[in-house]
Amino acid sequence: MIQATGGTESQQVGASAPGTVRASGDGWRETWLGPVRRRRWQAYGVGPSLDDALQASHRLASYGIASTVGYSPPAGEGARHTADVHLAAFDALASGELDGYVSVKLSTLDFDPGLLTELDAAAARSGRRLHLDALAPETVDPTWRLLEEAPRAGQLGMSFPGRWRRSADDAQRAAELGLVVRVVKGQWKHGADGDVDPAEGFLGVIDRLCGRARAVAVGTHDAGLLTEAVGRLRTAGTPCEVELLYGLPFRAPALAARQMDVPIRVYVPYGHIAATYGVADIRRTPAALWWLAQDLLLGKDKTWWSIRRSHIRP
């Protein structure tokens, strides 16, 4: 039996069949489950290095799709090294003339104001946006404090989860500061009375941004929600694009975006990546079982297969 919570896995091995020779501990689990996990994870990241992310970004560009590169460091990697990877990404995107920006998780930088200042300067030099990914709810206030103290020479963006009650106010604040806002449903609960229905909250954040934000990234794979959000933004005259996550179902939201003539961007994760769902999700959500089947059959080719099926051609 495999149990997973929040995208990280912990394995429990049940009783062996009669006559089975069972290895001990992690060795047995890695022998049988390791290849399955690695095959599944391959569908949700383009590889461990910046070169992998750039190769994927160039391939997306050949289909007329812009990109966002987001690095996830392995456990124990220092903030300095993580910042250097992001700095190199700015240089590479600019030199490769790619329509892409850099997304960073401030927790991987230890919320270091000096490192944020370096990334902001790199964003300004390269003409590429620095975007702050949404993290756990307890990181929101430290992020705002950091932004209040840090200089902003380059273009900056922030993500806000629709499921948090506070996100509508936070997103409006970001819009008033001239930031580009990405709206997502959200992975982590806020807790207590801080949560709302993710889809309703998503549209609530969109409504706050209509007519206020310089630009909005609609970050959902729910084609119906995407269509409603884009429609509201366009009615208000607010520039927008659709941003999809590499590895998640692509065809339906991409076709919805194409029908509305909205630009598509793909978030390209690289580094230390795991699947975006666990076995517990498969038990609760029939769609996750279909994702697992595709992950195991197609691996790292899943997203590209879906792009081809969407008739988005070079």
- Span 43-54, pLDDT tens digits: 678 999 999 999
How far apart are the C-alpha atoms of 195 and 210, rounded to whole Å?
22
Tell me if the pTM is above 0.75: yes
Residue 268, pLDDT above cutoff 60: yes
Q: What does the pLDDT read at residue 15?
A: 33
State the pLDDT confidence band at 5, using cuts at 50, 70 and 90: very low
Together in a domain, 85 and 62? yes
Of 128, 166, 170, 126, nearest in space to 147 by CA: 170
Q: What does the pLDDT read at residue 123?
A: 97
Together in a domain, 249 and 288? no
Together in a domain, 118 and 247? yes
Together in a domain, 9 and 105? no
Let me know: does 93 contact 101? Beta carbons within 8 Å: yes
Q: What does the pLDDT read at residue 274?
A: 62
How many CA atoms within 13 Å lie on the side-chain side of 306?
A: 23
Together in a domain, 152 and 261? yes
How far apart are the C-alpha atoms of 263 and 291, rounded to whole Å?
25
State the pLDDT confidence band at 301, using cuts at 50, 70 and 90: confident
Q: What does the pLDDT read at residue 135?
A: 86
Q: How many domains does the chain have?
A: 2
State mean pLDDT over 146-155: 87
**What is the domain range of residue 295?**
1-13+26-31+278-314
Q: Report yes or no on 36 lying in a domain.
A: no
Taking all residues of the chain, what is their mean pLDDT, rounded to a whole number?
84
Q: Report yes or no on 307 lying in a domain.
A: yes
State mean pLDDT over 172-199: 91
Q: Report yes or no on 210 lying in a domain.
A: yes
State the pLDDT confidence band at 311, using cuts at 50, 70 and 90: low
Q: Report yes or no on 199 lying in a domain.
A: yes
Together in a domain, 223 and 290? no
Q: What does the pLDDT read at residue 187?
A: 79
Together in a domain, 242 and 284? no
Residue 63, pLDDT above cutoff 80: yes
Together in a domain, 202 and 107? yes
Q: What does the pLDDT read at residue 294?
A: 64
Question: What are the pLDDT digits (tens) for 6-19?
Answer: 322 222 223 333 33
Radius of gyration of the chain (CA): 20
Q: What does the pLDDT read at residue 190?
A: 84
State the pLDDT confidence band at 296, using cuts at 50, 70 and 90: low
Q: What does the pLDDT read at residue 246?
A: 93
Other beta carbons within 10 angstroms of residue 265's beta carbon come to 22
Q: What does the pLDDT read at residue 150?
A: 81
Q: What percent of the chain has pLDDT over 90?
A: 64
Q: Report yes or no on 21 lying in a domain.
A: no
Q: What percent of the chain has pLDDT over 70?
A: 77
Lowest mean pLDDT among 64-68, 157-161, 195-199, 302-306: 302-306
How far apart are the C-alpha atoms of 119 and 86, rounded to whole Å?
7
More confident residue, 36 or 166: 166
